[in-house]
Amino acid sequence: MFYRAHVLVEMTSSSVALGAAQVKEQLEREIARAGLGNEVKVLETGSFGAALPSPFVVVYPDNVIYAPVSVRDVRRIVEEHLLKGRVVRELLFAGERGGGVATFIPPSPLKKEKRVVLRNSGLIDPLNIEEYIARDGYLALAKVLTEMTPEEVIEVVKRSGLQGRGGAGFPTGLKWEFTRKAEGEEKYIVCNADEGEPGTFKDRLILEGDPHSVLEAMAIAGYAVGANQGYIYVRAEYPQSIRHLEVAIAQAKERGLLGERILGTSFSFDVKIRRGAGAYVCGEETALLESIEGKRGEPRVKPPYPPQKGLWGKPTVINNVETLANIPPIILNGPDWFRSIGTPTCPGTKVFTLTGNVNNLGLVEVPMGITLRELVFEIGGGIRGGHGLKLVQTGGPSGGTMTPDLLDVPMAFDTLPRYNSALGSGALTVIDDTHCIVDIVKNFAEFFLHESCGKCTPCRVGGKRIVDILERISAGAGSPEDLEKLRYLGQHMKATAFCGLGQAAPNPLLRCLEFFREEFEVHVREKCCPQGVCTMRPKPQPKKTVRV
Amino acid sequence: MAKTLREVAEKAQAVSLVTVTIDGREVRVPEGVTILEACRMEGIHVPTLCYLEGLSAWGGCRICMVEVEGQPNLVASCVTPVREGMKIWTSSKKVREARKTNLELLLSNHPLDCQLCDRNGSCELQELAYQFGVREIRFQGERKVYEVDQSSPSVKRDPNRCILCGRCVRTCREIQTVCAIDFANRGFDTVISPSLGLPLGESVCVNCGQCILACPTGALSEVSHVEMVWEAINDPEKFVILQTAPAIRVSIGEPFGLPPGTVTTGKMVAAFRRLGFDRVFDTNFAADLTIIEEGHEFIARLKQGGKLPLITSCSPGWIKFMEHFYPELMENVSTCKSPQQMFGAVAKTYYAQKLGIDPKDMVVVSIMPCTAKKFECQRDEMCASGFRDVDFSLTTREAARMLKEKGIDLKEMPEEDFDDPLGISTGAAAVFGATGGVMEAALRSVYEILTGKTLERLDFYSVRGMDGVKEATVDINGMEVHVAVAHGLGNARKVLDQVKAGRSKYHFIEIMACPGGCIGGGGQPIPTNLEIRMKRIEAIYQVDRSLPLRKSHENPAVQRLYEEFLGEPNGERAHHLLHTHYVPRERM
Ligand SMILES: Cc1cc2nc3c(=O)[nH]c(=O)nc-3n(C[C@H](O)[C@H](O)[C@H](O)COP(=O)(O)O)c2cc1C
Ligand code: SF4
Ligand code: SF4
Ligand code: SF4
Ligand code: SF4
Ligand code: FES
Ligand code: FES
């Protein structure tokens, strides 16, 4: 059974005292009453790594937080949000009430901000192509079609040093070159707008605020590699992005900027929209291709990689939204301009989304190489409530875990791996020191268990056993050997999982086991949770038989 | 895609070689093969679970992990192609630990009650746990508990024993193109399930049982008729008749340790006689009968301009497939019942009369290579005498188990003959067990009936063998008769789509649901793989060659049956008893 949405209800001792159990019951009743029983699932969650008023309710994957929620509010959340897709603004967590989730952080006084991919967002009307054109829109496309050979385009992108912003940081120019050189009549350009990482919403902002920049970049990529068809795989929970894209595609076609014989040249390029299947792993490039082909969203065997055999077995470029949005400015301003931003080995900017226990929540585009200290304490305005910093999770649960000792490491694709961390998609979840490390790690592990596609043993069962052990520890039933088992399973999963999801899943666990060793030890030796978060009481396991 | 060893060998000839080092030994292997294949060529059988020869490699179980120098993670050998200069380690500490851990993880969500399991003794999971020396399961936790799906007349699904290797799914999709089952849910909740979560019995599953052969564990097995058969044998009121299918005599030796391809006809008869059946007869008798009926049906359609091509009807998996996916070809399919059903109909009428037994006291049991036969014998139409033509249908595996329960070792049996008269048969009936056999048998008779001449060369080699689709052209009285043979439903689809599109030149088509025909049926001993299939086929032709009569119309018992009871082939009585009809079914 696939669920379109999950509603997470905070179930901690403090929230239960404030009526969380009743809220959950009422949610289940209302969801059933609205006929959404097969589409929406109610889950319990622990504390969420954020100082939210209790009890809070999170609608996932929309990432909308309602807090605090009372039984009276439940019907409106179900009828408005879950049934009609309209966020109930009055009930939103105060920190998000302003512009919804996608808020810009006010420009920092230190002028750290540098807008390249967000150059138009918020400044132009995304539903009016004229405004995009007025800001040099489609000029880069015109330039490549009339003045440059495909090889020259690829050369420029290669020289710019642009690396994929979808998480892996693969050099974009090389990817295009491989695809251009791959044999095949038909080739495809796919834009990855699945944006499944919790706490990230940069791609949505670009698609909603500046859809043409992505379309223009796809056409340029098409010209460069010899593709005439593009697909944008958009997360199904982004109806607004889809609408803006639809309008933008229609307008671009009307003006001959997409479709047959673009700008009177012999080059044709069309773009189709595909809705995401609603699973995190569908953001993985080969699972995404399977999903576009109408199959179960499960990663493919690699090699062959998409540039050799991608969509329907044809050579395919897959690029993230943010990666693509960099392309038109690179073409217009040249690779040297791009290289002047960021670090020598990792040029350009990065959009970061700050969530969690910082004062300024939201999104900011800054040059690569910025430090976490600058991001959290200057741009983010420091930790909320005067607490200390426990850790920052970069790039979502599968990214890296940055402990306070790493605050001055420059943030870039090539630097973070040195600390067993990763830049990922740019989500930054700040967690303060009132949180329990076992609870934090358990939350991450549960996320992965929930998102595992189930194909391979180490992720499907190993991931489950990691959660089982963590639950045991937080229920006060852990033993010192459990810590060794966790480490072993984590490393095992990393070394043998089929795809990037399972390989990256144990990263936070492994890093935290090392850095917060003492806190884990206290849990298993003294059966005590220093932060008072773990229940330290065993919970009975229900046995049930399922018909399939 | 599907990679058989033969294809690998062909590749080896066509493609250049690369040098890799396996466990410190430098070897030259064809470019493009996987690490797993390279290791096998060097005699190292890297353990696998989700990999199965003939299916696409999938890489899910992570048992076949090996270490490649310079690569931070271990790699799955079944999906990783070799590269020049690769240094591969197949049993380093890291590799052994990783494999064992993945096995333990699978076992941590497994019932671990092998004694209660259908595959106790032939289970790949059990065997690996033994080989890896698993003595404890370090990672305990929640275990999934599922209801067993007993809705299908043929295939029982026990998801508790499933390790999610996907071999059944790929078999059903890639070999059979039925796509009755697939993965459902995600993560730890992943299960194999018929589409829409329906019970298997309500799905498009055609009961071929190929998924059972593919399954490494006890998650898939046949619906057992063993208890019912024991009960009938032990009931003094019942007259219990056994029929054994053409493909059993070349496979039932395997569970008793005889090499694949051993012909055991006489010993098999002796063994089943000792099991307590009142008569041990031969489905081959009915196979000869089928050729007479189907041959005359073909001749009639040929002469009177009836619907052509005529398509054979002896494989009940194929019949259900046709009802779901090609109902528009229903009139092309022969109306003849399968040999199993013809046998039952004749036993409960002609033979019952001969003996003076009330058919209600007669129990007909069949031993079949096939799980679909369980479904077939329960079809509403199959009641010629007013009672079920066939009461119970055992697979080869079930039959071997019954013998073992009683303590009969087939190897040690004397050679005995089938009982009279329903035990007499020809070589034409024997070849029914292999793909192309029905066609070959039909051609031997149709040719002689139409031309009145004696066929000199009885062996139609072009319809034999494991090629997916085979064709031949036979000159009969100056007319070119085009025939085709397909086995495995994916291959059948290729031929059927041509017929549907009106692009087929064929007059007569044989279709068997199972790859290799019945010798590769879903009820056959496990393992059944390409190599074993070929050995059984060889044995089938050995039986054919050894028989004095090799044409169905020369079977004296069948001739007597027409004289004494049936009248004319395709006549009224024959029609009532030996022919059937079909029902269109939903595609979903
Ligand atoms: C589990 C998993 C989830 C992913 N999700 C996304 C995603 O939501 N969006 C994205 O752009 N890339 C995602 N990726 C990365 C893609 O596989 C791929 O590397 C990327 O789309 C390539 O584009 P780029 O080179 O422009 O970064 C994910 C990878 C993994 C392993
Ligand atoms: S690692 Fe997890 S998500 Fe990736 S293929 Fe394996 S089960 Fe699926
Ligand atoms: S499937 Fe295999 S391991 Fe599992 S209980 Fe059956 S015989 Fe034992
Ligand atoms: S019995 Fe045949 S049709 Fe049915 S699920 Fe198995 S392979 Fe598919
Ligand atoms: S039923 Fe058998 S073949 Fe199918 S996935 Fe499970 S273990 Fe594998
Ligand atoms: S056999 Fe290679 S991963 Fe399963
Ligand atoms: S028809 Fe299934 S084995 Fe012969």
Say yes or no for a CB contact (<8 Å) between B79 and A449.
Answer: no
B52 CA distance to ligand 5 middle (Å): 12
A267: CB partners within 8 A, 6+ apart: A145, A222, A223, A228, A261
Say yes or no for a CB contact (<8 Å) between B188 and A495.
Answer: no
Q: What is the pLDDT of residues B12-70, one digit of tens each?
A: 566 799 999 999 999 999 999 999 999 999 999 999 999 999 999 999 999 999 999 99
Q: Which of B67, B222, B323, B376 is catalytic?
A: B376
What's chain B's length in residues? Answer: 588
Q: What is the pLDDT of residues B167-206, one digit of tens each?
A: 999 999 999 999 999 999 999 999 999 988 899 999 999 9
Q: When comparing pLDDT for A141 and A110, which is higher?
A: A141
A482, closest residue in chain B (CA to CA): B139
- Nearest atom in ligand 1 to the alpha carbon of residue A324 is 26
Q: DSSP 3-state assignment of B492?
A: helix
Say yes or no for a CB contact (<8 Å) between B185 and A462.
Answer: no
Q: What is the mean pLDDT of chain A?
A: 89
Calculate mean pLDDT across residues A80-105: 64
Pocket of ligand 7 (CB under 6 A): B 315, 317, 369-370, 372, 512-514, 518, 521
Residue A420 near residue A394, CB atoms below 8 Å: no
β-partners of residue B481 are B474
A326 CA distance to ligand 1 middle (Å): 16
Residue B487 near residue B312, CB atoms below 8 Å: no
- Is B411 a catalytic site residue? no
pLDDT(B249) > 50: yes
List of domains in chain B: 1-91 (3.10.20.740), 104-222 (3.30.70.20), 226-578 (3.40.50.1780)
ipTM for the predicted complex comes to 0.93
Residue B490 near residue B177, CB atoms below 8 Å: yes
Give the closest residue to B336 by CA, choosing from B523, B505, B569, B553: B569
Q: Which ligand is nearest the CA of B46, by number?
A: 6
Query: Does residue B61's CB lie within 6 angstroms of at least one atom of ligand 6?
Result: yes
Concatenated DSSP letters of B48-84: -SS--TTS-----S--SEEEETT-SS-EETTT-B--T
Distance CA B295, CA B289 (A): 10
Alpha helices, H only, A226-374: 239-254, 285-292, 321-325, 327-333, 335-339, 372-373
Q: Which residue in the block uniquely carries the two structure tokens 């997916």?
A: B468
Instruction: Give the residue whose CA is nearest to atom 1 of ligand 2.
Output: A502
β-partners of residue A238 are none
The pair of structure tokens assigned to A79 is 């009828």
Find the helix or strand (DSSP H, E) in which A457 lies: helix A457-457
CB < 8 Å from A in window 93-122 of B: 94, 97-98, 101-102, 105-106, 108-109
Give the closest residue to A198 by CA, choosing from A355, A44, A313: A355
CATH topology for the A349-432 domain: Ubiquitin-like (UB roll) (3.10.20)
* B57 chain-A contacts, CB cut-off 8 A: 301
- Is B440 a catalytic site residue? no
User: Which pLDDT value is given to residue A510?
Assistant: 94
A496, closest residue in chain B (CA to CA): B74
Q: What is the mean pLDDT of chain B?
A: 96
Calculate mean pLDDT across residues A325-345: 97
Residue B160 near residue B48, CB atoms below 8 Å: no
Question: Chain A: nearest CA to B44, how far in angstroms?
Answer: 21
pLDDT band for position B1 (cuts 50, 70, 90): very low
Specify the domain boundaries for CATH 1.20.1440.230 within chain A: 437-526
Specify the domain boundaries for CATH 3.40.50.11540 within chain A: 129-339
Instruction: Give the residue whose CA is nearest to atom 4 of ligand 7.
Output: B518
User: Which pLDDT value is given to residue A101?
Assistant: 37
CA angle A158, A160, A166 (to 5 degrees): 80
Whether the CA torsion A376, A380, A381, A387 is positive or negative: it is negative
Is the CB of A502 inside 8 Å of chain B's CB atoms? no
Q: What percentage of chain B carries pLDDT values higher than 70?
A: 98
Q: What is the pLDDT of residues B139-163, one digit of tens each?
A: 999 999 999 999 999 999 999 999 9
Residue B201 near residue B153, CB atoms below 8 Å: yes
pLDDT(B335) > 90: yes
Domain range A129-339, CATH architecture: 3-Layer(aba) Sandwich (3.40)
- The CATH class of the A437-526 domain is mainly alpha
A424 CA distance to ligand 1 middle (Å): 9
Q: Is B247 exposed, middle or buried (0-12, 13-18, 19+ CB in 10 A)?
A: buried
The pair of structure tokens assigned to B521 is 């049926």
- Nearest atom in ligand 5 to the alpha carbon of residue B211 is 3
Q: Which ligand is nearest the CA of B159, by number?
A: 5
pLDDT band for position A97 (cuts 50, 70, 90): very low
Q: Which residue in the block uniquely carries the two structure tokens 């290799």?
A: B516
Concatenated DSSP letters of B193-257: EEGGG--GGGSS-----HHHHH-SSTTEEEPP-HHHHHHHHT-TT-EEEEEE-TTTTTTTTGGGT
Is the CB of B58 inside 8 Å of chain A's CB atoms? yes
Specify the domain boundaries for CATH 3.40.30.10 within chain A: 5-91
Domain range A5-91, CATH architecture: 3-Layer(aba) Sandwich (3.40)
- Nearest atom in ligand 1 to the alpha carbon of residue A192 is 11
B110, closest residue in chain A (CA to CA): A461
pLDDT band for position A98 (cuts 50, 70, 90): very low
B525 CA distance to ligand 7 middle (Å): 13
User: Which pLDDT value is given to residue A95?
Assistant: 57
Residue A317 near residue A190, CB atoms below 8 Å: yes
Query: Does residue A454's CB lie within 6 angstroms of at least one atom of ligand 2?
Result: yes
pLDDT(A17) > 80: no
Q: When comparing pLDDT for A25 and A201, which is higher?
A: A25
B127 CA distance to ligand 5 middle (Å): 16
Q: Which of B37, B222, B297, B440 is catalytic?
A: B297
Query: Does residue B48's CB lie within 6 angstroms of at least one atom of ligand 6?
Result: yes
Q: What is the pLDDT of residues A161-216, one digit of tens each?
A: 999 999 889 999 999 999 999 999 999 999 999 998 877 888 988 998 899 999 99
Specify the domain boundaries for CATH 3.10.20.600 within chain A: 349-432
User: Which pLDDT value is given to residue B445?
Assistant: 97
C-alpha A91 chain-centroid distance: 24
* A303 chain-B contacts, CB cut-off 8 A: 81
Give the closest residue to B168 by CA, choosing from B103, B219, B121: B219
